[in-house]
Structure 1
Amino acid sequence: MSDKNDSATVLPEVTFSTFVLSLASSALVHLGEVPNPETGNTSRNEALARNAIDVLTMLDDKTRNGLTPEESKLMRDVLYELRMKFVARS
């Protein structure tokens, strides 16, 4: 379903990795680690950060035996980094 009006907008291919990185980026915004791309402001919302980490954890649990080695490593690395940042900010 392509919208002709959005032809100038180029989005990355949707893959498992881009989905994981999107959720990780959201968690980083909510942890106040990076500015919100829409506002340019930095703020913290631990509940939303925790939710994004929980979603990634659920994905990790549900996909554990179905990922490529690269996807599995990405998931482990992303979750480790986010959990450490969450603990440091809490």
Structure 2
Amino acid sequence: MSAKDEQPKIIIDSDWKSQAQAEKDRLAAVEAKADQSRPKSGPGGESGEMPPADFRALVGMLGMQALMSLGAVADRQSGQAIFDPGYARHMIDLLGVIEEKTKGNLDKEEADELKGLLHELRSRFVELSRLVAEGRIQQGSPAGSSNTRQPPPPGTPGTSGPHLHT
């Protein structure tokens, strides 16, 4: 046979686009079915949606961590309010860095919210530190403790307040 007779035979699959689209549709249907079977409640509420990733969410997240470390919110595992001064100070300092680095770049409402949050957190930190120095807050009972009694909020007269986590 000659070179002219041995040309490669090319087969064109003209149906590849429809096959790809059918596969895409099938995968979309499987994913939609999986989404429907997932529970709708979660960190974002009943709809399962997360809050917007914005400045307020960032500040709120750090503020909540600081409040938890200041004993304002009970630990989810032990049920006890815990005062962890090192972590609380770190979260408050991080918010202070955000305040310093964003000065002049926030709208009035954002700046006022950040300033108010920092004032509240710093005031709580100073008050709890004073109570520790006076011995009015008990030492001990870290997060893993078996004692699940919920102490009263800090500053309640005649109570021991949150426990100190060291």
Shorter-chain-normalised TM-score: which range? 0.7 to 0.9
Residue aligning to 1:34: 73
Deviations 1:23-46 (A, max 9, x none): 11110100111113x424321110
Gaps of 5+ in 1: none
Q: Which stretches of structure 1, 4 residues or longer, exceed 2 Å deviation after superposition?
A: 4-10, 38-41
Which of the pair is proportionally richer in helix? Answer: 1
Task: Find out whether 1:51 has 2:81 as its counterpart.
Answer: no
Superposition deviation, residue 50 in structure 1: 0.2
Q: Which moved more, 1:18-27 or 1:48-57?
A: 18-27
Which gives a bigger RCO, structure 1 or 2 (Cα 8 Å, sep 6+)? Answer: 1
> How many residues in Structure 1 have an aligned counterpart in Structure 2?
86
1:1-90 pair list within 5 angstroms: 8=40, 9-36=48-75, 38-39=76-77, 40-90=79-129
Identity %: 31
Gaps of 5+ in 2: 1-34, 41-47, 130-166
Q: 1:19 to 1:7 in 2, by over 3 A?
A: farther
Deviations 1:65-89 (A, max 9, x none): 1001110001100000000000000
Larger radius of gyration: 2
Alpha-carbon separation, structure 2, partners of 1:67 and 1:16: 9
TM-score by length of 2: 0.48
Which of the pair is proportionally richer in strand? Answer: 2
TM-score by length of 1: 0.85
RMSD of equivalent CA atoms: 1.8
Alpha-carbon separation, structure 1, partners of 2:57 and 2:99: 15
